[in-house]
Structure 1
Amino acid sequence: MKYYEGVNKWRLSNPNYTDRVIMFYWEQLRAVEAILKKTFPDCVEDISLIDKQTIHSIIHYMQEMGMSDMLIATRLNSLKILITYLSSNGIMMDTGKDIHFRIRSNNKIAFTLQEITAMFNVLDYNSVRDMCTLAIALLMLDTGARTREICQLDMDHVDLVNRTVYLGPRTFTRGENIPFGKITCKALENYLNSRSMDKDQPGVPFFQERDGRRIQDRTILRNMKKMGEMANIQSVRCTPSTFRNTFAIRFLAGGGSAILLMHILCYRKFKSLNRYLTCESQRTEINDDDKRAYRDALNRIFDHCKINHPT
């Protein structure tokens, strides 16, 4: 039995999962199939050839690609569920039951500069949805805001003159005015212009759905996931939490205070912040070519956002 046939057999077998969970596992299994095509193409043609050594090799490959421990564990768990189902139907041996993968508690993966550049380059700056996704992504990269905080933003919470955003009330702290950069400010203002929205409307949601309602967290997740797929980001999940990790790691790499970062991220214990201090350094290294490509992507944003920005 071919790999995709085994996946489809499991997907159509009506397991005790919701449609949403089945779709999630199906996406992870498709990602595993892409890895098998590169490493063990014979297993794609005959799924019964997947043995313990093959699974260990898949784990090693994902680690070499710099994928986060959480992503590796998720894909491994999806593959084990598939193998267990097929073995119960006598199609193959249950080769994944004794394989375990430990998630390191201090493992935090951020976007590389190349990945951020790739995501910026695939967005359509004439699309209102993409303008919204760009503005949210830049705001998260500059402030480390959570998805919930982004959804709760009103017009009077964003000061485009002083370039600050009010996030709050936050966990363990009162609301805070967090500064953001000039590029983010232009992206935010261009988003407002694309929707013909007036920024002088207190109480009106800043980020909105197509029908004018306050944006939902699932919309942000869906748009970021699509952006990552368009940019072919495979080594890390394109989610708001990854943008938050990127903000924290870049903040520390730029010489920022760990105590200040702990306050911005609303952590009560230094142990929570230690995960960023011990992150893998190879994904934070930046060379001149990466900087040049990143600046070119940002210049595209500046060229498109021809607006009279207040000074």
Structure 2
Amino acid sequence: MARRSNKLVTDQASDKPEIELTDFETAFNSFIRECKLKNLSKHTVKYYRDELLAFRTMLERQGISTKPGDITLKIIKENVIVYMMETLNRKETSINTRLRAIRAFFNFLEKDRQIYENPVRELSLLKQKKEVVETFSRDQLKDLLRQPDLGTFTGFRDYTIMLLLIETGVRVRELTDICVKDIRWEDSQIRIDGKGYKERLVPIQATMKCQLRKYVQIRGDVPNEALFVTIDNTPLTIRQVQNRLRKYGRKANIKNVRCSPHTFRHTFAKMSVQNGADVFALQAVLGHTSLDMVRNYVNLFSSDVMDAHKKFSPVEKLF
């Protein structure tokens, strides 16, 4: 038998994948399946699904091929970033939200050897402007709490929701995920299902616990475990919470601050810092993975900064 040639032909030596997926749908389903196999949270999977389907629709509207192998870095820059900026008038945060999903998608396809070239390998997120952190004043909080009709189930529920947002600073998604069984009455804590399956125990004090006991009694037995339910006994959704808070903001005539669950979260952080909370306690309650945002709260709202400024204020010393 003749000796084989030791030199490999180009096709044999290539490290390119044998097959490149021909359509977006197949690649998309493959990626979502991988997310589920990694046991990512349902919220993370939904985020990827929503953003990637919006990405496909955006390209289709512009007449761009959605075949993964045809999508280049130039297309992502021109037909995603610039398009979202100029045509859709989206902010940097919204654009970066989509870009993160796109990067995860193509990085998976490259790792799974389903594309020849990875268009996002050198893609950077947009530099985001640091926006002012909006918070409610104490008077605004009191005005908001006066709006719900406590003689109705929905009013009593909404009042309880606002108190819980002020007490704990939980995210709106975390709020809607709370089940009755998550309340640890004896320990004065609520189990929160945070980002990335990171559970944490958030403390509540006597006033909040008393309010929750009253609400749970009024809520009664319903065919689901959700703590906060609608008048039809279905779990309250994120959108419904957002809409209810906006409604109370209009009724309270609050104009200079966006009345949203996240404003309650920022307000909780501000009041906690002003009341002496340290960065580690605040990080534990808010569920931040890093101290960066927590330090930002401390820098913004610490009374030490205000007191120090009174001492070194150039204008005050000028006259």
Place the TM-score, normalised by the shorter chain, in its bin. Answer: 0.5 to 0.7
1:178 partner amino acid: V
Q: Which residue number corresponds to residue 278 of structure 1?
A: 299
* Alignment map for 1:89-128 (pairs within 5 Å): 105=130, 107-128=132-153
* Alignment map for 1:1-311 (pairs within 5 Å): 105=130, 107-168=132-193, 170-171=194-195, 174-195=198-219, 197-198=220-221, 204-279=225-300
Task: Give 1:192 deviation, angstroms.
Answer: 2.3
Given that residues 224 and 235 in structure 2 are in contact (C-alpha distance below 8 angstroms), is that contact kept between their aligned partners in structure 1? no
Closer, same or farther in 2 for the Cα pair 1:245/1:266, shift >3 Å? same
Give, in whole Å, the separation in 1 of the partners of 2:223 and 2:271. Answer: 33
Give, in whole Å, the separation in 1 of the partners of 2:276 and 2:150. Answer: 33
Secondary structure at the counterpart of residue 279 of structure 1: helix
TM normalised by structure 1 equals 0.52
Unaligned runs of 5+ in 2: 1-88, 91-127, 307-319
Given that residues 144 and 248 in structure 2 are in contact (C-alpha distance below 8 angstroms), is that contact kept between their aligned partners in structure 1? yes
Give, in whole Å, the separation in 2 of the partners of 1:109 and 1:280. Answer: 12
2:236 partner amino acid: I
Task: Give 1:157 deviation, angstroms.
Answer: 0.2
Task: Give 1:281 deviation, angstroms.
Answer: 7.5
Give, in whole Å, the separation in 2 of the partners of 1:192 and 1:263. Answer: 26
Give, in whole Å, the separation in 2 of the partners of 1:186 and 1:265. Answer: 22
Closer, same or farther in 2 for the Cα pair 1:228/1:149, shift >3 Å? same
Secondary structure at the counterpart of residue 204 of structure 1: coil
Q: Percent identity?
A: 22
CA shift digits 1:170-190 (9 cap, x unpaired): 226731221112222222222
Give, in whole Å, the separation in 1 of the partners of 2:183 and 2:227. Answer: 8
Unaligned runs of 5+ in 1: 1-76, 79-102, 286-311
Given that residues 136 and 263 in structure 2 are in contact (C-alpha distance below 8 angstroms), is that contact kept between their aligned partners in structure 1? yes
1:107 partner amino acid: V
Q: CA RMSD in A?
A: 2.8
> Which runs of structure 1 show a deviation greater than 4 angstroms over 4 or more consecutive aligned residues?
none
